[in-house]
Amino acid sequence: MLWFSLLVLIPLVAVIITASSGGWSAFASQLGNEQTASAIWLTIRAAVVVTLINVVIGTVIAWVLVRDRFWGKGLLEVIIDIPFALPTIVAGLVLLSLYGAESPLGLHLANTSMSVYLALAFVTLPFVVRMVQPVLEELDADVEEAAASLGASRFTTFRRIILPSLAPAIAAGAALSFARGMGEYGSLVLLSGNLPFKSEVASVRILSAIENDNPEGAAAIAAMLLVVSLLVIVVLDLIQRRMVRRG
Amino acid sequence: MSIEVTGVNKRYGDFVALEDINLTIPTGQLTALLGPSGGGKTTLLRVIAGLETPDSGSVVIEGNDATSLPVQKRNVGFVFQHYAAFKHLSVAKNVAFGLEIRKRPRAEIQAKVAELLELVHLSQFANRLPSQLSGGQRQRMALARALAIEPSVLLLDEPFGALDAKVRKELRDWLRRLHDEVHVTTVFVTHDQEEALEVADEIVVVNQGGIEQIGTPEQLYDEPANDFVMSFLGDVTTLGGALIRPHDVEVTPSPISEHSLEGTVSRVLRIGFEVRLTVLTDDGEVVTAELTRTHARALQLEEGVNVFVTPSPGAYTMPAPSPAA
The Cα B325–Cα B322 span in angstroms is 6
Share of chain B above pLDDT 70, in %: 98
Instruction: Please report whether residue A190 resides in a domain.
Output: yes
What residues contact B141, with CB distance under 8 A and at least 6 apart? Answer: B83, B85, B91, B94, B95, B120, B122, B125, B130, B133
pLDDT at A247 over 70: no
Instruction: Please report whether residue A193 resides in a domain.
Output: yes
SS (H, E, C) B101-121: HCCCCHHHHHHHHHHHHHHCC
Burial of B89 (0-12, 13-18, 19+ CB in 10 A): buried
Using alpha carbons only, give the angle B257, B259, B262 rounded to the nearest 5 degrees: 95
pTM for the whole structure: 0.82
Nearest CB neighbour to B88, from listed A148, A151, A164: A164
**Position with higher pLDDT, B270 vs B207:** B207
Cα B11 → chain centroid: 24
CATH code, A125: 1.10.3720.10
Domain B3-228 indexed as CATH 3.30.1490.20: no
Domain holding A114, by residue range, is 41-246
The Cα B301–Cα A101 span in angstroms is 100
Share of chain B above pLDDT 90, in %: 59
The Cα B33–Cα B193 span in angstroms is 10
pLDDT at B324 over 50: no
| The pLDDT of residue B322 | 66
Would you tell me how many other CB atoms lie within 10 Å of the CB of residue B77?
Answer: 27
> What one-character DSSP code corresponds to residue B322?
P
| The pLDDT of residue B321 | 77
**By the 8 A CB rule, do A221 and A24 touch?**
no
> Rounded mean pLDDT of chain B?
90
Instruction: Please report whether residue A13 resides in a domain.
Output: no
What does the domain layout of chain B look like in residue ranges?
Answer: 3-228, 237-319
Residues from A contacting B (CB-CB < 8 Å) are 140, 142-143, 145-153, 156, 160-161, 164-165, 244-245, 247
DSSP H or E stretch at residue B308: strand B306-311
CB atoms B72 and A151 under 8 Å:
yes
The Cα A111–Cα A129 span in angstroms is 29
Q: How confident is the model at residue A246 (pLDDT cuts 50, 70, 90)?
A: low
Nearest Cα neighbor of A223 from A7, A23, A14, A9 is A14
Rounded to two decimals, the ipTM of the complex is 0.84
Q: What is the pLDDT of residues B74-83, one digit of tens each?
A: 999 999 999 9
What residues contact B42, with CB distance under 8 A and at least 6 apart? Answer: B157, B158, B189
Q: How confident is the model at residue B323 (pLDDT cuts 50, 70, 90)?
A: low
Instruction: Please report whether residue A30 resides in a domain.
Output: no
Residue of B nearest to A144 (CA): B84
Instruction: Please report whether residue A216 resides in a domain.
Output: yes
Q: Which residue type sits at A241?
A: R
CB atoms A153 and B72 under 8 Å:
yes
Total structural domains in chain A? 1
| The pLDDT of residue B207 | 94
Instruction: Please report whether residue A34 resides in a domain.
Output: no
| CA distance, residue A197 to nearest chain B CA (Å) | 46
**By the 8 A CB rule, do A166 and A59 touch?**
yes
Q: Which CATH architecture has domain B237-319?
A: Beta Barrel (2.40)
pLDDT at A209 over 80: yes
Angle between helices A113-138 and A34-67 (to 10 degrees): 30
